Structure 1
Amino acid sequence: DDDAPEPSTPPDAETQIAPSPKARRASIGFVGGGAMAEAIARGFVAGGAARFSDLAVSHGSDPATAARWRALDVDVLSSNAEILDRCDVVFFAVKPHILPNVLNECGAHVDVDRHLFVSVAAGVSSAFIEDSLKKAASKGIAPGRPGPGALPSSHKKETEKNTRVVSVVTPKVVRVMPNTPCLVGEAASAACKGSAASDEDVTFVVELMRSCGLCLNVSSESLLDAVTGVSGSGPAYAFLFIEALADGGVAAGLPRSTATVLAAQTVLGAAKMVLETGEHPGALKDKVCSPGGATIQAVRALEQRGFRSAAVEAVLASAAKSRELGIESEKQHRGK
């Protein structure tokens, strides 16, 4: 979510890991320079997939955002079109309601043989992104560029409900739902390809995202709303839980700094046990809960106050909002 806090100080240039040859096969650009884009960029650098000097970003008109990226030694460009002209892999890292205008601006600069688009905008379908880029391309061809793979004039035109679309080759799009722990190399992301992207394209994106944490290739794009609910929004739930644990520690007499460190490490350690042992979380919980002990009384208190139900409802609310954001974004664009 682009409303996340701004990441902290970048790693020193001396500590940046040299990118692997495979990771450097393509230049990477970000359309949108908010917190999510920055977290991903920092993750790529820390994970060895790129150097800051290999990246480019377009930032709108915010001087503070531009200054922050320049401080990282990232090439800051003045327009979204320049990102497409320079970069092979283009991340659309803007809010869903902004994405339609971005696509309209970029369409005439698409080169389908070169560009791979990665969208991190919650809820906006790859089909909408593909169609929007094709429609924008049909309105004009960028100077010096042949346009997005225009087919021979004898080829029939495609039609959509109430909309005529000039038939151009469909751009390659992969949707990704990342989260802000990209910043520390512990992301939980999922990816799904659009209609024109190949298995190789989505594999490349998954490997790129794995430079900053876990990334799974999900079978159906409809699952990405659920991914948003679990892992996209999940860091906020975890931060809230850590804060609440620390508050409890303070209430019980611990200094704030001690309580916070203990709470954060406890959540980290519990998560590692789930991932590394392969045991069901419920089974691991049962091992901590001795008969008549303190922990089972604490679990009872959580259950009495609806802890489990609240977590489930949080995921469903986030997933529903993700779907809503996509529908509203697409509806507003089609209404123009």
Structure 2
Amino acid sequence: MTGLLPQLTRRVLTDGGLETDLLFNRGVELPSFASIVLLADDAGRAALEGYYRPYLELARRLGTGFILESATWRASPDWAAPLGLDQPGLDRLNVAAVEMLHRLRGEFGSTQDIVVSGCVGPRGDGYDPGRIMSVEEATDYHARQVRLLADAGVDMISALTMTNVNEAAGVTRAAAQAGVPVAVSFTLETDGRLPTGDSLEAAVEAVDAMTGGYPAYFMINCAHPDHFASVLTESSPWTRRVRGVRANASRCSHAELDVMTELDAGDPVELGQLYRRLLERQPQLTVLGGCCGTDLRHVTAIAEACLGLPSSA
């Protein structure tokens, strides 16, 4: 794909909760909740392709663009040892994840805009910020993975489930150094705030200030719409920077989700209607997908509820 990212001008879809779908719905083992390990063998690669293809078929049927996220959310340097890998081995899997997406785009891309996105997750836990790095440390930490993904040919970086401002700014700076666009997605608690207690407004404005407004846009992921709808009620410069939602299926808190042994898939149709209400108030939202507990059913319901709405993109 060349030129402007399609989601900057019109609505596109992306996938649901990759790891929760594979683990709970398909019985695929994911050590440390890391889908990157599936790139290591034929069976794992087949499982990933089997996950991606129905989403691409949905986008083709609906005539909309699609953002393909690489299976690299938990594939930054600190995760090599817990996954039983050395750093060169983890690097190779990062590249293989992007190569898979390019092959899929080659198969489906003739009829739609498909964006290949390099997914970058937090250094630590996706729910708990833990020790917060300085912006400089976060930049240095994430630079290796971001550069690998950029060199492998991604169209953009998606920093998903960011728990704090400094790490989000660090990934953004690493993307700027690599010369690749980046979308920054914050995870929010049930009160609509980051796990650090920062408001979404403060986080968006802080990352923009720290990076010269480098992010292409911001997103929200890994929270239910009921948790953040109240903070997206106005039209202002900061809300217009929020262009994507990847919500959880469940209304449970992160603490509750962390100890669950069974998946809470919620109600896909209801979730689609909650997205529709969000878009009616925030028509600049152009990236629609899911996070924990969601699968093709949820993204289909979201698409059917929202794709016909007017956009202010």
TM-score, normalised to structure 1, is: 0.31
Q: Which has the larger radius of gyration?
A: 1
Q: TM-score, normalised by structure 2?
A: 0.32
Higher helix share: 1
**Highest relative contact order (Cα 8 Å, sep 6+), 1 or 2?**
2
